[in-house]
Structure 1
Amino acid sequence: MVLNSIRKLAAASLLLLASSATVSAQTLVFTAIPDEDETKLVERFRGIADYLEEKLEVDVRYVPVKSYAAAVSAFRNNQVQLAWFGGLSGVQARSLVPGSQAIAQGVEDQAFNSYFIAHKSTGLEESENLPQELRGKTFTFGSKGSTSGRLIPEYYIREAFNEAPQDVFSRVGFSGNHTKTLRLVESGTYDVGAINYSVWTKELENGNIDTDAVKVIWTTPSYPNYQWTIRGDVDERFGDGFMQRVQEALLSMEDKELLNSFPRSGFIPVSNDAYKPIEVVGKQIGIID
């Protein structure tokens, strides 16, 4: 299922391939899942490219993609060698590229959460358990390939109702990213949605949420999420020890502006094994074959 969807969206990576065709063999190219508005991502990751270029003393280029599947496809096809993935997309990418490694995660990614948010018209209030009153409401996930915006929320919906989301809700949608989920619920286009807690927190701190219109009604248990994943063949391309150098550069990042743009307080070492729970859940609900 996952491989088919990635193949279907491989065409979305053709533009990326064309734009990368002139990149030198000694250029480290990286991408990131499009979990927020593109303008925010471009600003964040151009800063990361400049930082890594200075630390690694090689050319570094950030290339945006239009979908989670396109990010995975670009990694598989060696159009990018490094990527900022969510938990699910990282598992998918590493399964397609033998030897690839998760090398760093945000401090906050050890125990991540998703928020269920609701429009005021629903009358739903914050609860310790997923409210049964969700039944019959309209609901939007984020991207189909999102860990925090789809995988984990769907798992807990199925656990609470013993039914698939399309059987619980009157209408189910996929917004494409967390920012859009917030706006769709805030406007009342959907009654309820699932959003990455860090996006909610950042938007709230920046005064970008109408708290009279939308509120958090439930928080999922914690799970491992975002991480930097690198291809296993980078040492062959860039020289012995390059993977370790990239990891060390990420772990030593102290620029507050860069870290706040994620937002993360810092990066810590991680391994593929940390994301085994994501793989298990993905298989349980049929997102991973």
Structure 2
Amino acid sequence: MNTSIGALFNRTVVSLALVTSVILAPVQADDVKTLVFSAIPDQDESSLKARFGKVADYLSETLEIPVKYVPVKSYAASVTGFRNNQLQLAWFGGLSGVQARNLTPGSKAIAQGEEDPEFYTYFIAHHSTGLKPGEAFPKEIAGKRFTFGSKGSTSGRLMPEYHIRKNLGKSPEDSFSTVGFSGNHSRTVALVESGSYEVGAVNYKVWEKMVAEKKVDTDKVSLIWSTPGYPDYQWTIRGDVDATWGEGFSDKVQQALLDMKDPALLESFPRKRFIPASNEDFIAIEETAKAIGLLDE
């Protein structure tokens, strides 16, 4: 290779390297430096964006790194995104959290709402059924049109199915004339209120918030039974975040959540405050999911 061609070749290689570094550097920095989190879509998307956009701002300021909230379309998508490291932090339900941690070794539950160790599912019914509130499981729901929430929901599917099987002695498909999956809790309420389904299972927090905000017509649909308490929602973080953001980062995120005091932020969940959580808190959820064949869905 003559000198002029060699020099030109070397300059070209250097120029390409510089261009490549300029193109790639921002992408790499963004990938490494931005903490991405999401949440199970237990309500409509507009509500979720309003809730978690503010949380992203709080975490960005507290952790002193960019933090971004990314919505997902389904419970399964939140688990998949976490497994694939598209999300490093997530607000999961009990079942989705167990699924995500099982698929992502080293990940751990770090915080939960003060109310979450004793969470409840409400069974609601359209008034045309004539069903009334009671302490005992309402066996009269057998044969009716029944809707769960999401297939991956703890409060909208796992725990109500557990109690249906326990009290009716059969699967939901064998217990009801029709079985549906609304996709989220607010949709469950709307479907039962309209009469499309006669009975449904809903997260008690969503029901109580909708009633308080007069977003449900209690002349058409009402609460008929509450499950016993069980552990549910929690924040789960990937086990490799310390390798990305430095030793102790996971503990720093946990502390930021525990220190969240702004009533406006907490009301968006809604929770009074966050308390520590651990993987061991959800062993009962894991065992229940295994018992009725839902863990691998």
Q: How does 1:273-284 map to 2 (within 5 A)?
A: 273-284=280-291
Q: 1:96 aligns with which of 85, 91, 103?
A: 103
State the match for 2:161 in structure 1. 154
Matched, 1:240 2:244: no
Q: CA deviation at 1:72?
A: 0.1
Amino acid across the alignment from 1:59: P
1:205 to 2:217 alignment? no
Aligned to 1:131: 138
Distance 1:288 1:236 in 2: 29
Shift of 1:184: 0.2
Q: How many residues align?
A: 270
1:229 matched to 2:250: no
Coordinate RMSD, CA, aligned: 1.1
Offset at residue 132 of structure 1 (A): 1.7
The answer for unaligned runs of 5 or more in structure 1 is 1-19
The residue aligned with 1:12 is: none
> Which runs of 5 or more residues in structure 2 are unaligned?
1-26
Give the Cα separation in 2 of the matches to 1:270 and 1:158: 29
When structure 1 is superposed on structure 2, of 48-57 and 124-133 the one drifting more is 124-133
Quote the residue 1:66 is aligned against: 73
Q: 2:190: which partner in 1?
A: 183
- TM-superposition CA deviations, 1:141-195 (whole Å, max 9, x none): 0000000000000000000011000111000000000000000001111000000
> Which sits farther off after the overlay, 21-30 or 168-177?
21-30
Please say if 1:165 is aligned against 2:143. Answer: no
State the alpha-carbon separation in 2 of the partners of residues 22 and 210 from structure 1: 50
Query: Is residue 2:116 matched to residue 1:109?
Result: yes
Cα distance in 2 for partners of 1:21, 1:263 equals 35
**Distance in 1 of aligned mates of 2:28 and 2:131:** 51
Per the alignment, in what secondary structure is the counterpart of residue 105 of structure 2? Answer: coil
TM-score, structure 1 normalization: 0.92
Task: Give the one of 47, 61, 64 matched to 1:54.
Answer: 61
The alignment partner of 1:24 has SS state of helix
For residue 25 of structure 1, give the secondary structure of its aligned residue in structure 2: helix
Counterpart of 1:54, as a letter, is E
2:79 maps to a residue whose letter is V
Q: Residue 173 of structure 1 aligns to a residue in which SS?
A: strand
What CA distance in whole angstroms lies between the structure 1 residues aligned with 2:173 and 2:146?
9
Deviations 1:170-229 (A, max 9, x none): 000000000000000011110000000000011111111101000000000000000000
Whichever residue aligns with residue 161 of structure 2, its letter is E
Counterpart-to-counterpart distance in 1, 2:161 and 2:28: 38
Aligned-residue offset at 1:22:
8.7
Distance of 2:106 and 2:257 partners within structure 1: 19
Corresponding residue to 2:88 among 60, 81, 106:
81
Counterpart Cα distance in 1 of 2:278 and 2:104: 15
- Percent identity between the two aligned chains: 62
Deviation (angstroms), 1:21:
9.1
Match of 2:271 in 1: 264
Once the two structures are superposed, the pairs formed by residues 30-41 of structure 1 within 5 Å of their partners are: 30-41=37-48
Specify which of 193, 216, 235 is matched with residue 223 of structure 2. Answer: 216
Q: 1:107 to 1:31 in 2, by over 3 A?
A: same
Deviation at 1:23, TM superposition (A): 3.7
